[in-house]
Structure 1
Amino acid sequence: MSDRSTVSSASSSCSSSVSSPSLPHTPPNLHQNTIDPAAKWLVQKFGGTSVGKFAVKIADDIISEYIDQHKVAIVCSARSGSTKALGTTNLLLRAAKEALQRTSSPSDTPGSMTPALFSQASQVQSPVGSPRQRSTSSPRELFTPGGSFSMSQANHAPAVFNSTVDIIRSEHITAARAAIRDSEILRELELEIDRDCDGLRSFLFATQVIDEISPRSRDNIIGFGERLACKVMTAILRDRGIDAEYVSLENIVPHTEDEGSYSHETLGQDFYDRVAEAVSERIRQCGPRVPVVTGSLLRQVGRGYTDLLAALLAAGLGASELQIWKEVDGIFTADPRKVPTARLIPIISPEEAAELTYYGSEVVHPFTMEQVIRRKIPIRIKNVENPQGGGTVIHPDADMDAAPYPEDDMLGVFAVPGAAPTSRGEHGDQTERKLPTAVTIKERIVVLNVNSNRKSVSHGFLAGVFGTLDRYGVVVDLISTSEVYVSMAIEDGLDKKVLDRVVRELRKSGTVTVSRDMAILSLVGTRMRNMVGIAGRMFTTLGQGNVNIEMISQGANEINISCVIDARDAVKALNMIHQSCLQIRPEGARGRVGPWLF
């Protein structure tokens, strides 16, 4: 295998990295991570859309600009497709569903297995429905941890999932041919894609034989997309002269005492600390090579969690920063598609970011943030299409400046060209006003109002209501209670039959009314604590705009005031609160405007 190969084994890569007692020099025409002992690690996580649409830009304009000053590790999500329906994860879910669809034939009888399944198996040489010859290479480890089922055991009737696997293969082959110039690298990547698609067919066939896909098997199938995306990204980096190494971590997760435990909610922080230590140790073995890491940890952790893996890796390496690259400039004071005067927020606290995540913005999951924030590592959200921008920093201490990067020297730390001073006091404004940080709207909300029938005492009434919600797995976004009255805002995502059953159960506790087409309006900011009059200003503004309030709620941390309004008034209310409470006027400098995080 050539030194410019797409995927190299861990043993060969590690031996080449540490065989000499002195630090190795950068090979000719191959760009490596800096060998400066003082350089710190920088973990960069790229989402599926970024990997699917901007892989070459990531290699040319982002990674190559960082590896001279930092030791960079990359984590990738499964790549997007040419359309949303052709996204890798969507296709894998479809293939998993199709694997349980049995092909009928006149000889089949209910409850029995066709004898043809195991007859003349040795005569079948290639996967049924595959547009090419089966690879003669040995099976890869990706989907065969305990041995491989051969598609040669399959029925002669085409499996339904074969066509979906062919689409996955075609999407990745097409992307590789469009991005990779070196014919040798392209050839090796195509062979790797073929082998992995064979492994996926074999795994799907195995689930078809047992007629069952467990949660762990489903996660294994979905994790295929992340591993394949990382291989494509590794090949593109190699093609661009960057010495990258593909690193798969699904077998590195430490065992727990209870191997039957699968939900991440049952795992303690000590488990995640051990994962961080294990993955960081594996990455250090790559030496000066740039590791491209899969975000899929298949054992106890479950599906994907690329953000979580990136956070654990940053924590284990003691990284200077965790960068999450999206197709947005960062977090804004409001959605600029609905609020033209919205501004980029240069720095935000973890508490504020968590509240925004709960109420409509896809910032970073609070549990993921916790893994790095507790190690005093900042998170920076940046735009793949604007790599020179400062982005938004989620900093452990939001009153401190984040570590500057070269682009900050050109733009000014967190500078937004033409922007007026905001509540954070940047651009030299030393007089900081106590103002909220952002306003957000979460639409498609249903409000359930339950009025007690007084047949039980107050605690029995509340226990009955919440017990019903728990049995049906209903997640409550917002709640307002009294002794005999409960109002709950939930997402309008429940199946109609499930919601009807929930309402019937709740009627055993009292009178129930359902209000649809609602929205949650939330005002967020750590500086709202002890801010006299901010709630009055918010509700007075809504009243002056003839916006009716269905319910009101404020969290115990006092950094969030939320209310439920009619969805038809959402955009109007968003603009009024943005102007009134954040005191950002339509006139004057607007700052940088771009897509927001949802």
Structure 2
Amino acid sequence: MKVLKFGGTSVANAQNIKLVLDIVANKANQDKLVVVVSALSKVTDLLHLAATKAAATDESYKEIIAEIEKAHLDTLKQLIPVGEQSGLLSHIKRIINHLETLLDGCFLLGELSARTLDTILSFGELLSSYIIAEALKQNLKNSGYKDSREVIKTNSNFGRANVNFEITNLLLKTFFDANENQVVVMPGFISSSTEGISTTLGRGGSDYTAAIVAAALHADDLEIWTDVNGMFTSNPKIVKQAQPIATISYQEAMELSHFGAKVLYPPTIQPVLRQNIPIYIKNTFAPEAEGTFISNNPLPSANPVKGISHIGGITLITLEGPGMIGVSGSSKRLFEVLSQSQINVIFITQASSEHSICIGIMNEDADQAESAINKAFEIEIVQNRVDPCIVEKNLCIIALVGESMKNHQGLSGKMFSTLGKNNVNIRAIAQGASERNISVVINERDVKKALNTLHERFFEDNTKQLNLFVMGVGNVGEIFISQIAQQKKFLKENLKINLRVIAVSNSRKMHFDEDGIDLKKWKEALDEKGVPADQETFVSNVKELNLRNSIFVDITANEGVSKLYEKFLKQSVGVVTCNKIACASEYSNYIHLKNLSRQYNAPFLFETNVGAGLPIIDTVKNLIASGDKVNKIQAVLSGSLNFIFNNFDEKNSFHDVVKEAGIQGFTEPDPTIDLSGVDVARKILILIRESGNKMDIEEIANESFMPAACLETTSNEAFFASLIEHAPHFDAIYQEALSKDSRLKYVAQFENGKASVGLQFIPKDHPFYNLEGKDNIVLFYTDRYVDQPLLIKGAGAGAAVTASGIFADVIRIGNV
């Protein structure tokens, strides 16, 4: 014999019930069946609402009765042929009339007892089971119905009655020994006291009914049919990558169920566990899916962790004080007062010093618990031997569950470090001696981030999801996004990095998509769905989403955007930027950002600040980290200026070459930033600071080759007009270089604590002489590189190389 239980979603409407009937009919060909059914979806909630309204003398309860009646009559009409509906419809209406009489009584008396509520709530299962039993008889004549209240007996603890198993088992065995039907339909959730008064079995009661029947009849197995493909490695509504668990032990299933895996209610397992009856969790809407098999001997798994579950709405209460140290009975008094207040304790941890005890309870019990505990320890609190209890609400318990966890070292460390890297603060920790469960308490707002991060760590082959928020999608930004689209599959397969762009923004619009923006259609999405760009709103959206491994990517040259870094870093959001303003700002701000990066474990990478895609900053970091010291730097750090002076000659005017550099994307949007030397000064300043030296930009000597009138212009049009006006000045510089058989290079230097930038005449024997196109070159003279400097050379400007440098920084974060 098999026992099948179908939940509320499985019997939500006539369409779903037809699927249930097909499953039952197929299985009835092989085994005798007991089919336990829940109320139609949401009906129990409606009954509870109607009872509450009636007791509050709110006449709208009558509208709810009408809604419940319509739902059941419509369902019956769709399942039963018209010619056979008359008597069945009359029976449904009689049941509804009985329900209405009870609710009218609540309305007239203005009260609702626990006993009456149990009777009212029982109508959901009574109605659904009757309709399903009658529908089943249409195609399976050898089927019947049994009212669970006649065979499941309890005490009179209304709302959550305790089963009298001795009487119940005897009644069930007696009935089914005499029963000849192939299938028997029974309502779940409901029972009756030994006096014959309707009772209910509490939350998860239909599962419990099925387990009670299965245990009493020594069934071959218990099948629980729901709307998902079994128990999952985590909540699939929160963790999209969650996978069904093929096999699991009773103990693991109970742990996961206790911590929020809603497909199964923990007490359900108890009756069948004693009888060693296996449980299958199956999907009504995908009956061919494998589902989850629960038994004493599940198949071995390479992964010691079976699942990650959670309970939200938790309050942490801490009782502490010197008066608890070495004093016996403190714990007993604490738990006694909670028991007397009927408050369920979900989580317990105690310091070995006995100085404090910490418990987790549901939020709704917090105020009552606080009052009761403070009253129980009133004398000790007055004497300052115990502090008033500390109450922290809106927390969540996350549990790592697995029978084999006790045989594997380091799982706790992996769990804590994974959460720590995403700045998920752990408020409390508990681990039983069995090591089957490691539980931590965290802030409820971090649940999604924590579950996804842990799931990645333990179930997704260490694939790391990076969530990018990109501000600045002009020339470089567009190429950056296209590079991500091109390499996305490669990164996932080879580096185990899953890149998602969550937000894009330009100066006019911004667009967010929590599920990831389609990189082939991001322009259309920004255009059609974008909202007005606002930096503060952008920051608050990133904070509100609170996604794991979040990275803000700044592809602007905007000072206002650079001031947002502090806010992102404080939220443990990494920052990748090609914007030099922040790192070249006041030294105190530069150090502050670096410190925030360390404090909040948020990467702050800016490789493209110097040399675009060249590994210049990374090289300096490695030199310093390995104990070397940078003594001198000589560099050509402006790809745009190098391009300009490499192409400026008798045939190409200075004006035309500068214009062309802008067209090719080598200069900043405001070319005076490049030509004034400010951009080069910022770059050498960043290298000086990364070398471990303290300096501000005002200390760098800037020997400008530009006429002051050119730099004082207020628009690009005026600037380019001034270049034509001062053409003789630039021609004179060029002619001087020719006369010295030299080439013009804009050079940055640092030595003996002093730095300068300026145009120089480079002779033929100098390493900078043959620097072509837009290339950069840097010479590092260090304690290790004395006679021959460490040389880095390559393309130092251009949208593609800058984008690739930003991309490389993102990948660096993914590889950490």
> Fold match, TM over 0.5?
yes
Matched, 1:58 2:7: no
User: Where is the helix percentage greater, Structure 1 or Structure 2?
Assistant: 2
Q: Output the amino acid matched with 2:271.
A: Q
* Other structure's SS at 2:441 match: strand
2:358 paired residue number: 487
- Deviation of the 1:196 alpha carbon: 0.9
**Mapping 1:110-121, distance limit 5 Å:** none
The answer to whether the 8 Å contact 1:61/1:387 transfers is: no
1:396 paired residue number: 296
1:102–1:546 CA distance, 2 compared to 1 (3 A): closer
**Mapping 1:79-478, distance limit 5 Å:** 79-80=40-41, 87-101=42-56, 161-177=61-77, 179-205=78-104, 213-241=112-140, 243-253=142-152, 271-295=164-188, 296-299=190-193, 302-304=199-201, 305-399=205-299, 424-425=300-301, 433=302, 435-452=304-321, 454=323, 458-478=327-347
1:261–1:477 CA distance, 2 compared to 1 (3 A): closer
Provide the C-alpha distance between the structure 2 equivalents of 1:55 and 1:340, rounded to a whole number of angstroms: 25
Matched, 1:48 2:3: no
Provide the C-alpha distance between the structure 2 equivalents of 1:244 and 1:230, rounded to a whole number of angstroms: 13
The answer to whether the 8 Å contact 1:518/1:566 transfers is: yes
1:247–1:185 CA distance, 2 compared to 1 (3 A): farther
> Deviation string for 1:447-484 (max 9, x for gaps)?
22222252886334333433332343332221211312
Q: Output the amino acid matched with 1:248.
A: D
- Deviation of the 1:243 alpha carbon: 4.2
Provide the C-alpha distance between the structure 2 equivalents of 1:303 and 1:97, rounded to a whole number of angstroms: 17
Provide the C-alpha distance between the structure 1 equivalents of 2:324 and 2:243, rounded to a whole number of angstroms: 52
1:138 paired residue number: none
Q: Output the amino acid matched with 1:391.
A: G
> Deviation string for 1:470-501 (max 9, x for gaps)?
3433322212113121222222233x753663
* Other structure's SS at 1:442 match: strand
Provide the C-alpha distance between the structure 1 equivalents of 2:421 and 2:46, rounded to a whole number of angstroms: 49
Provide the C-alpha distance between the structure 1 equivalents of 2:282 and 2:12, rounded to a whole number of angstroms: 17
**Mapping 1:525-540, distance limit 5 Å:** 525-540=402-417
Provide the C-alpha distance between the structure 2 equivalents of 1:465 and 1:207, rounded to a whole number of angstroms: 38
1:409 paired residue number: none
Provide the C-alpha distance between the structure 2 equivalents of 1:160 and 1:60, rounded to a whole number of angstroms: 35
Gaps of 5+ in 1: 1-40, 81-86, 104-158, 400-423, 426-432, 591-598
1:56–1:360 CA distance, 2 compared to 1 (3 A): closer
**Identical amino acids, percent of aligned pairs:** 28
Provide the C-alpha distance between the structure 2 equivalents of 1:43 and 1:458, rounded to a whole number of angstroms: 52
Q: TM-score, normalising length from structure 2? A: 0.51
Q: Output the amino acid matched with 2:288.
A: Q
* Other structure's SS at 1:191 match: helix
- Deviation of the 1:213 alpha carbon: 4.2
Provide the C-alpha distance between the structure 2 equivalents of 1:365 and 1:234, rounded to a whole number of angstroms: 25
* Other structure's SS at 2:33 match: strand
Q: Output the amino acid matched with 2:86.
A: R
- Deviation of the 1:341 alpha carbon: 2.9
Provide the C-alpha distance between the structure 1 equivalents of 2:162 and 2:90, rounded to a whole number of angstroms: 40
* Match of residue 39, structure 2, among 78, 85, 91: 78
Q: Output the amino acid matched with 2:423.
A: N
* Other structure's SS at 1:522 match: strand
- Deviation of the 1:538 alpha carbon: 1.7
Decide which structure has the larger Cα Rg and report it. Answer: 2
Q: Output the amino acid matched with 2:414.
A: R
> Deviation string for 1:524-547 (max 9, x for gaps)?
000012322221222222223332
1:212–1:568 CA distance, 2 compared to 1 (3 A): closer
The answer to whether the 8 Å contact 1:325/1:381 transfers is: yes
- Deviation of the 1:374 alpha carbon: 1.5
1:249–1:515 CA distance, 2 compared to 1 (3 A): closer
1:461–1:265 CA distance, 2 compared to 1 (3 A): farther
The answer to whether the 8 Å contact 1:220/1:298 transfers is: no
* Other structure's SS at 1:557 match: coil
Provide the C-alpha distance between the structure 2 equivalents of 1:59 and 1:260, rounded to a whole number of angstroms: 33
Q: Output the amino acid matched with 2:274.
A: R
Q: Greater RCO between the two (CA within 8 Å, min separation 6)?
A: 1
The answer to whether the 8 Å contact 1:519/1:570 transfers is: yes
Provide the C-alpha distance between the structure 1 equivalents of 2:84 and 2:406, rounded to a whole number of angstroms: 57
Q: Output the amino acid matched with 2:396.
A: A
Matched, 1:513 2:412: no
The answer to whether the 8 Å contact 2:19/2:285 transfers is: no
Provide the C-alpha distance between the structure 2 equivalents of 1:184 and 1:581, rounded to a whole number of angstroms: 58
The answer to whether the 8 Å contact 1:443/1:520 transfers is: yes
Matched, 1:67 2:22: no
Provide the C-alpha distance between the structure 2 equivalents of 1:59 and 1:572, rounded to a whole number of angstroms: 37
Q: Output the amino acid matched with 1:326.
A: T
After alignment, is 564-573 or 349-358 more displaced? 564-573
> Deviation string for 1:32-70 (max 9, x for gaps)?
xxxxxxxxx111111122111344433453112111111
User: Where is the strand percentage greater, Structure 1 or Structure 2?
Assistant: 2
* Other structure's SS at 1:435 match: coil
- Deviation of the 1:240 alpha carbon: 4.3
The answer to whether the 8 Å contact 1:334/1:440 transfers is: yes
Provide the C-alpha distance between the structure 2 equivalents of 1:217 and 1:436, rounded to a whole number of angstroms: 45
1:203–1:512 CA distance, 2 compared to 1 (3 A): closer
The answer to whether the 8 Å contact 1:348/1:392 transfers is: yes
Q: Output the amino acid matched with 1:224.
A: F
Provide the C-alpha distance between the structure 1 equivalents of 2:178 and 2:50, rounded to a whole number of angstroms: 36
After alignment, is 516-525 or 277-286 more displaced? 277-286
The answer to whether the 8 Å contact 1:341/1:585 transfers is: no
The answer to whether the 8 Å contact 2:230/2:282 transfers is: yes
Q: TM-score, normalising length from structure 1? A: 0.69
1:141 paired residue number: none
* Other structure's SS at 2:261 match: coil
* Other structure's SS at 1:515 match: strand
The answer to whether the 8 Å contact 1:180/1:186 transfers is: no
* Other structure's SS at 1:69 match: coil
Provide the C-alpha distance between the structure 1 equivalents of 2:493 and 2:223, rounded to a whole number of angstroms: 32
After alignment, is 373-382 or 454-463 more displaced? 454-463
2:782 paired residue number: none
> Deviation string for 1:264-318 (max 9, x for gaps)?
6766xxx314313312432444413421112211216931422222112112222
The answer to whether the 8 Å contact 2:144/2:181 transfers is: no
1:396–1:576 CA distance, 2 compared to 1 (3 A): same
Report the count of equivalent residues. Answer: 450
The answer to whether the 8 Å contact 2:10/2:17 transfers is: no
Provide the C-alpha distance between the structure 1 equivalents of 2:157 and 2:11, rounded to a whole number of angstroms: 32
1:265–1:533 CA distance, 2 compared to 1 (3 A): farther
* Other structure's SS at 1:528 match: helix
* Match of residue 368, structure 2, among 498, 504, 516: 498
